[in-house]
């Protein structure tokens, strides 16, 4: 039996053990097991089963770290999943036993090509944290600075490749044999997971992302990002400054330190919108395990510390503007504008009737405003808008899926810190300021500043180009070339018509010539056997050319 078949067999056993019997028909390999399970005592003694969403989460946890990571990413696809399943998968946490410290030392030494004693003052083989893809060790540099060393798990790329290939096989089988799977589009989800997980395997990419965010928030009182030590970074090794802070989920420690939780929650929201709209580069994995609060700060001016930049997101300038307009129009209850933005952005087909989309959005969103603003979820608003637009054939927008996931994380974290957080009161001034900078005179000035370097290269060339253009026009050498598919088709049709005309004219001329020769061959009509050969040839050739001309119509 092949390795894939063995892994598939193990996967199906886990599904069966967790009561996910309905998934078993998706593979021919396990169809007999679905019949045999009725003979097992455990089937009759297992008692009432928890909800399907809980069973799926437990099965992923039992299958191992790669499946846990898949479930975490799958939980962000709320446009595809039922709410209960998405919320259950969001509870998945990496609980992975560390690999041996000596193995980590060996991997780092191989990456550097020398002993660690020549690189670090010390290197702790006992990891301080372990996850599905990598684990982190404490170390010290020769100059006395304290760092952390992130090391990819040994042979992780081969393991991930095998598991993702198996997931792709299961997705393919599910789409063919499980009707519900077609709506969830598992193949598309697995391919998105493949891209995300392999991006996380390149620690140089993560180092670059961390450096970019650090530069964006240089000198900021909102967020601090550890320094990356580039000379010590490799594709499978990342070395960063070690930071010390209070885990953002430790409310007791935050209160004991006198942190103003309302200010902390408001600053978290401000960081998110700054990353999305000012920097267009946002941390897309801001769960509590990646966020800390700096110690020894003024209580009313707390500062966040962020780590783990493996998953980042960005938006096009168009998406930024449409998103801001969506939020502002929604909270002003301008559903017509929300619908117009959805169509103008290209997120729904251009033939969508704005009136129908407006009515659908009003039906979904109006009940939300029956609650106080502090109870309205920004992330759920975005989710409902996209779910409504899906009914109008909205294409999946991966960049907005990441944004939605991050917004839900930030919002959940903010309300955990301060339950009465009114996210709209924090976000609205920021969005309105950003929008005012995109339109009118401020927008023109901003675009001029952005395009100034390029214009500096182009403008000096304009007089020379204008002179060449005028000289060619004066000398009669100016040609206008227009190339398009329609023009090419028009040219071909003109050529065909011209060819038909020539053939018809020549054919008619030959027939007329044959008739003249025939008529001039004596005063009395000749008999058939006495018709000149030239008449036969010219007449036949003329008829042939006319037939060709007619056939090309």
Average pLDDT over residues 294-309: 90
Q: How confident is the model over 53-64, as a mean pLDDT?
A: 83
What is the rounded CA–CA span in Å between residue 414 and residue 408? 10
Instruction: Give the model confidence (pLDDT) of 421-442 as tens digits.
Output: 877 777 878 888 888 877 655 5
Residue with the bigger pLDDT between 238 and 60: it is 238
> What's the pLDDT tens digit per position in 152-186?
999 888 888 888 888 888 777 777 766 655 555 67
- Residue 293 is encoded by which pair of tokens? 């609060």
- The three-state secondary structure class of 300 is coil
Task: Judge whether 81 and 188 are in contact, CB under 8 Å.
Answer: no
Q: For 186-245, give the DSSP string.
A: HHHHHHHHHHHHHHHT-HHHHHHHHHHHHHHTTT-SSEE-PPB-GGG-BTTEEEEE---E
- pTM higher than 0.75 for the full model? no
pLDDT at residue 441 in the model: 53
State yes or no: pLDDT of 377 exceeds 60.
Answer: yes
Task: Please tell me the least confidently modeled range out of 16-20, 124-128, 359-363.
Answer: 16-20
State the pairing for strand pair 223-224/291-294: unpaired
Residue 4, token pair as written in the block: 């894939």
Structure tokens of 41? 């005592």
Nearest to 240 by CA among 249, 258, 254, 227: 227
Share of the chain above pLDDT 70, in %: 68
pLDDT for 482 beyond 70: no
Residue 104 banded pLDDT, cuts 50, 70, 90? very high
pLDDT given at position 551:
54
Q: Report which of residues 45 and 389 the model is more confident about.
A: 389
Q: Average pLDDT, whole number, for the chain?
A: 77
Q: Are strands 291-294 and 304-306 parallel, antiparallel or unpaired?
A: antiparallel
Per-residue confidence at 29, pLDDT binned at 50, 70, 90? very low
- Determine the pLDDT at residue 26: 46
| pLDDT at site 255 | 92
- pLDDT surpasses 50 at 461: yes
Would strands 304-306 and 129-130 be described as parallel, antiparallel, or unpaired?
Answer: unpaired
- As a whole number, mean pLDDT of residues 471-477 equals 71
- Residue 524's pLDDT is what? 47
Q: What is the pLDDT of residue 62?
A: 81
Q: How sure is the predictor about 405, in pLDDT bands with cuts at 50, 70 and 90?
A: confident
Which residues does the annotation mark as catalytic? 285
* Cα–Cα distance, 59 to 17 (Å, whole number): 8
pLDDT in tens, 323-370: 888 888 887 888 899 888 888 888 788 888 889 888 888 887 787 776
Please report the pLDDT score of residue 20 as a whole number: 74
Contacts 24+ apart (CB under 8 A), 286-290: 286/406, 286/409, 286/410, 286/413, 287/409, 288/247, 288/248, 288/249, 288/413, 289/93, 289/247
Q: Is pLDDT at 142 greater than 90 in this prediction?
A: yes
Helix/strand/coil percent split, the chain, to 5: 65, 5, 30
CB atoms within 10 A of CB 329: 18
What separation in angstroms does the CA of 442 have from each of 438, 451, 494, 543? 7, 14, 52, 75
pLDDT at 139 over 90: yes
Helical H segments across 275-353, by residue range: 317-331, 335-344
Q: What's the pLDDT score for residue 483?
A: 54
Q: Identify whether the C-beta of residue 357 lies closer than 8 Å to the C-beta of residue 343.
A: yes
| Per-residue pLDDT, 225 | 96
Give the number of C-alpha atoms closer than 13 A to the C-alpha of residue 446, restricted to the C-beta side: 12
475-503 as b/e, with b when 16 or more CB fall inside 10 Å?
eeeeeeeeeeeeeeeeeeeeeeeeebeeb
Which stretch of 254-258, 442-446, 466-470, 515-519 has the lowest confidence by average pLDDT?
442-446
Task: Tell me which of 31 and 336 has the higher pLDDT.
Answer: 336
Which range among 58-72, 206-220, 484-498 shows the weakest confidence by mean pLDDT? 484-498
Residue 289: predicted pLDDT: 77
Of the given ranges (59-63, 89-93, 157-161, 369-373), which has the lowest mean pLDDT? Answer: 369-373
Report for 137-141, 281-285, 524-528: range of highest mean pLDDT: 137-141
The length of the chain, given as a count of residues: 553
């Amino acid at each position: 039996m092949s390795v894939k078949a063995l892994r598939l067999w193990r996967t199906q056993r886990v599904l069966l053990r967790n009561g996910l019997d309905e998934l078993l028909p998706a593979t021919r390999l396990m169809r007999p097991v679905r019949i045999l399970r009725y003979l097992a005592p455990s089937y009759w003694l297992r008692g009432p089963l928890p909800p399907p969403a809980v069973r799926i989460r437990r099965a992923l946890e039992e299958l191992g770290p790669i499946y846990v990571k898949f479930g975490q990413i799958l939980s962000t696809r709320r446009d595809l999943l039922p709410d209960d399943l998405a919320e259950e998968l969001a509870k998945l946490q990496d609980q992975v036993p560390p690999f041996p410290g000596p193995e980590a030392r060996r991997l780092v030494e191989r990456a550097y090509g020398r002993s660690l004693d020549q690189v670090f003052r010390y290197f702790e083989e006992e990891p301080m944290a372990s996850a599905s893809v990598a684990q982190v060790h404490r170390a010290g540099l020769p100059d006395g600075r304290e760092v952390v060393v992130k090391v990819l798990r040994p042979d992780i790329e081969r393991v991930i490749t095998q598991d993702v290939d198996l997931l792709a096989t299961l997705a393919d089988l599910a789409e063919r044999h499980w009707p519900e799977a077609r709506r969830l589009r598992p193949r598309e989800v697995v391919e998105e997971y493949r891209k995300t997980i392999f991006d996380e395997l390149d620690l140089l990419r993560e180092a670059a992302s961390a450096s970019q965010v650090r530069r964006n928030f240089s000198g900021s009182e909102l967020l601090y990002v550890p320094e990356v030590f580039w000379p010590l970074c490799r594709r499978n090794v990342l070395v960063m400054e070690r930071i010390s802070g209070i885990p953002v989920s430790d409310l007791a420690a935050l209160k004991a330190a006198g942190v103003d939780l309302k200010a902390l929650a408001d600053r978290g929201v401000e960081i998110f919108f700054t990353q999305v709209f000012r920097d267009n580069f946002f941390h897309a994995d801001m769960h509590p395990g990646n966020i800390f609060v700096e110690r020894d700060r003024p209580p009313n001016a707390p500062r966040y510390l962020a780590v783990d930049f493996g998953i980042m997101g960005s938006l096009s300038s168009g998406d930024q503007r449409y998103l801001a307009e969506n939020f502002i129009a929604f909270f002003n209850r301008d559903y017509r504008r929300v619908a117009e933005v959805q169509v103008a952005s290209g997120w729904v087909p251009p033939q969508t009737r704005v009136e129908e989309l407006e009515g659908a959005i009003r039906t979904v969103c109006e009940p939300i405003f029956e609650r106080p603003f502090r109870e309205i979820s920004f992330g759920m608003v975005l989710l409902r808008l996209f779910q409504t637009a899906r009914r109008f054939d909205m294409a999946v927008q991966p960049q907005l899926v990441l944004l939605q996931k991050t917004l839900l994380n930030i919002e959940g974290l903010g309300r955990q810190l301060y339950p009465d957080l009114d996210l709209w009161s924090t976000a609205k001034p920021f969005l309105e300021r950003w929008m005012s900078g995109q339109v009118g005179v401020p927008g023109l000035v901003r675009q001029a500043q952005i395009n100034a370097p390029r214009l500096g290269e182009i403008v000096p060339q304009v007089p020379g180009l204008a002179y060449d253009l005028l000289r060619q026009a004066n000398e009669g050498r100016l040609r206008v070339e227009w190339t398009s598919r329609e023009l090419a088709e028009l040219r071909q049709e003109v050529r065909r018509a011209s060819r038909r005309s020539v053939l018809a004219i020549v054919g008619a001329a030959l027939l007329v010539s044959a008739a003249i020769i025939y008529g001039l061959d004596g005063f009395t009509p000749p008999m058939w056997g006495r018709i000149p050969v030239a008449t036969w040839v010219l007449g036949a050739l003329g008829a042939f050319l006319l037939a060709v001309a007619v056939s090309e119509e």
